[in-house]
Each structure stands twice: as structure tokens, then as C-alpha cells.
Amino acid sequence: MDPFVFVIIITAVAGVVGTGLGGLLGVLFTRNSEKIVSLLLSFAGGVMLCIVCLDLLADALGQNEGSVGHVFLVIAMTVVGYAVIYILNAIIDRKTNPEVSHIDQAHPKTADQLSELIHSDHYEEHKREYEQTGQQKSRRQLFLAGVVMACAIALHNLPEGMVIGASYAGDAIDGGVSGIAIAIVIGLHNIPEGMAVSVPLAAGGMGKGKATLLTALSGAPTILGAMLGYFLGTLSPVSLAVSLSFASGAMLYVVFGELLPESILMWRSKAPAAAMLAGLLVGVLILYV
């Protein structure tokens, strides 16, 4: 099978199936979902942190080992990847937060509810307005709120796809098999994210089947990210290092800027920290056993 086609297939499984499975679990087990998703998000964050630091960045640095300039290139592209996702998230937050009634000056700077993870609370705000007024303006705002929600989901899934695509490109160069392991890890990591998507949709009145289907489809941007990561990674060793570094930076923002703060705010205890440690150790097992 053509490697590019295989990358698309394995990424679709990791992105769409993994997210869809999480969506199904979310609509079936909504009771105490905040604590469950808190632990799953922090566990997934630990796994991703391990993969990024011990595999992706190590591969990026290894493309031109011994070159000081190459080390600074990897550091710079990691910062760029982090900054791009941070800025895009900040733009979405600045647009949506003022329009949500429960978010005020005293509200945490990151999400502390499931609905805030994907801005479905913003969508529900406009949905209620449209149902009450039926005005054309409200309908347009409802559509835009849906687009914003889709963009928020894509911001998490695109870099995950880039990680898979770039990893497979690296395997094609050095004969490794890390791409398969990373696809499995991201598929598992997408389960709690799928729960985070489906729970607020179902809680807002959407049918369980429709909420699960939409959640699964929200994993589709992962495929676009994988195509981009694979394409960049096969151009040259330097472009592979750039792709791996950028994807690593983007994932580090998702871990430290989204998953961990949100998991701790959802359940204010030491349990999320323990779950993160467990995830990190499981990541070590996946990579080295």
C-alpha cells in the first residue's frame, strides 16, 4: 500500500474513530462526567508530553545531530508551533467569551467546564437567542457560533494529525516504527477529547446519535494535519525537523495551555496530577516496551 494512503487511513482511525468512541462514551455516561473527563484529559496530557519530549523532539534534533544551528532551529520552530496555536485560541476566546453570560472578570482564564473546551456554551447561547426571537440576525450568529466551535475543535486536531504525518515521514527516512505507536497514542488521547465534545452537546438537548456523529466528524481535521505533516516531512531532513518541531510546539500548548489547566479546574484536587504522572509512565511503556 502507498505510504501516503496508509497515513490517511491510520490517521482517520485515530482521529475520527478515536474521537467518535469518546463521543459515544460521553453521551452514555454523563453522570459525574466532569471528574471522569478531568482524569482522562490529564492522563492524555501525560502521554502526549512523554511522546513529544522523548520521541518527536528527539527525532527532530537527530536529523542533523551535532549542529548547534540545528538545535536552535528546532527550539525556534517549537516556539512558533506553540505561539501559533496560542494566538489562534486567544482570538477565538476574545471573540466568544464576552458573549457568554457566565464568563466575567472573575472567571478563570482557561476553561473550567466541559462546554468551554469547544465553545459549545457560546453556541448554546446563540441557539437560545435564535429560538426565542427567530430573527435572521440571530440565525446568522448561530451559524457563526457553529463555525467557531468547529474551528476550536480543529485547532486541537490539526497538530495531532501533523504529529502522525511527520512521524511516518521520519519512519520512511530512518526505517523506524514510531508512527504507528504515535497514531495509537493519539487515538487513545482523542477518547477524552471526544467526551469533552459530546457531553455538552448532549446536555444542550442534541440527540445522542447526532451528538456522537458530530463528535466523530470533528476528528476529520486530523487527516488534513497528517497530510500536511507527511508532505513537509518527506521533502528533506530539515523540513522533517521543522514539521516535527512545529507539531511538538503545538501539542505542548494543547497539553500545558488547555488539557492540564482544564482538568485541574474541573476537579480541584491532586487526582489530575496523579493521572498525568500515570499517563507519562504509560507513554514510556508505549515507546520502549
Query: How many whole angstroms separate alpha carbon 20 and alpha carbon 149?
Result: 17
Query: How many whole angstroms separate alpha carbon 131 and alpha carbon 138?
Result: 9
Residue 196, pLDDT above cutoff 80? no
Structural domain for 65, as ranges:
3-288
- The pLDDT of residue 205 is 73
Query: How many whole angstroms separate alpha carbon 192 and alpha carbon 237?
Result: 34
Query: How many whole angstroms separate alpha carbon 89 and alpha carbon 224?
Result: 19
Query: How many whole angstroms separate alpha carbon 95 and alpha carbon 152?
Result: 12
- The pLDDT of residue 62 is 86
Residue 53, pLDDT above cutoff 70? yes
Q: Are 245 and 77 in contact (CB under 8 A)?
A: yes
Residue 157, pLDDT above cutoff 90? no
pLDDT band at 259 (very low <50, low <70, confident <90, very high): confident
Q: Count of CB atoms within 10 A of residue 207's CB?
A: 11
Count the domains in the chain: 1
pTM: 0.84
Q: Are 204 and 120 in contact (CB under 8 A)?
A: yes
Residue 245: closest CA among 153, 167, 151:
167
DSSP state for residue 175 in the 8-state scheme:
-
SS (H, E, C) 87-107: HHHHHHHHHHHHHCCCCCCCC
Q: Count of CB atoms within 10 A of residue 177's CB?
A: 10
Query: How many whole angstroms separate alpha carbon 78 and alpha carbon 76?
Result: 5
